[in-house]
Each structure stands twice: as structure tokens, then as C-alpha cells.
Amino acid sequence: MKTENTSTSNSIYYIIPAVLCGVLTACVVSGSIGHIILGAVFGLLSAGFWINVVQHNEEA
């Protein structure tokens, strides 16, 4: 019999604040559209790092 591990994904709680913080930081620092997009990308990268690396190490 196969058992599946179903865990609830709370990743949205990390992704949205990370994007907002990246956008707001870029807006305050430079105000240009290119930097705002870059801030959003870096926010997503940091949220992805937190979800995939830090959270999996805490579960082990």
C-alpha cells in the first residue's frame, strides 16, 4: 500500500512579501523601472532560496 506525504505548502507566505520588499527597496533606492523589475527578481530568488534550502534543513 502506498502512502503519500501531503504537506501544505506555505510558500505563498514567503513569495509575496519577498517580491514586495524587493520592489519597494528598488523603488526607494533608484525609482527606475529596470531596477524595480530587478528587485522583484531578486526577491523571488531569495524567497525560493528560503523555501527550498532553509526550510528543508529545518525539517530534517
- pLDDT at res. 3: 57
Q: What is the largest CA-CA distance in the chain?
A: 57
Measured CA to CA, the distance from residue 43 to residue 60 in angstroms comes to 25
Handedness of CA 28, 29, 31, 33 (dihedral sign): negative
Residues in the chain: 60
Q: How many other CB atoms are found less than 10 A from the CB of residue 10?
A: 9
Domain segments of the chain as ranges: 6-59
> For 12-29, how does the pLDDT look when each residue is reduced to its tens digit (9 = 90+)?
788 888 888 888 888 888
pTM of structure: 0.66
